[in-house]
Amino acid sequence: MALDADGNRTTVLKPKEEWTIAEDELALGNSKALNALFNEVDKNMFRLIKQCIVAKDDAWEILKTAHEGTSKVKSSRLQLLTTKFENLKMREDENIQDYYMNVNI
């Protein structure tokens, strides 16, 4: 997909000879960004993004979701950690060293 002059997605590509200087610079920046992403991810992540042609809107969002999860997953993780923190207390039969080890797990 590409963007037309109005910013709408289109499959019709403008010939490179008709690109403005700004469009040429954007294409170069996108190519550099995709190249950096492709070179820095492992093989499994590369498989997810290898078909992407837009670094920010496609590849970056896929990587972000793969690493951070969806907002629902993030919310669940946060809830779990909050509950664990709220329930954190030292048992009466526990010494400081054991408590410290349990906290750091």
Average pLDDT over residues 83-102: 88
In a shared domain, residues 53 and 87: no
In a shared domain, residues 35 and 75: no
In a shared domain, residues 60 and 76: no
In a shared domain, residues 76 and 61: no
For residue 33, give the nearest of 64, 56, 50 by alpha carbon.
Answer: 56
Cβ distance 20 to 3 under 8 Å? no
In a shared domain, residues 60 and 84: no
In a shared domain, residues 11 and 61: yes
Cβ distance 98 to 83 under 8 Å? no
pLDDT at residue 32, as a whole number: 95
In a shared domain, residues 19 and 55: yes
Its domain, for residue 50, covers 1-68
Above 80 in pLDDT, residue 11? no
For residue 13, give the nearest of 53, 56, 49, 60 by alpha carbon.
Answer: 53
Average pLDDT over residues 26-46: 92
Q: What is the pTM of this model?
A: 0.55
pLDDT at residue 46, as a whole number: 93
In a shared domain, residues 56 and 101: no
In a shared domain, residues 58 and 79: no
In a shared domain, residues 8 and 33: yes
Q: Lowest-confidence range among 29-38, 44-53, 77-86, 96-105? A: 96-105
Distance CA 72, CA 76 (A): 6
Q: Lowest-confidence range among 18-22, 24-28, 81-85, 101-105? A: 101-105
Write out the two tokens for 33: 């960004």
Domain count, the chain: 2
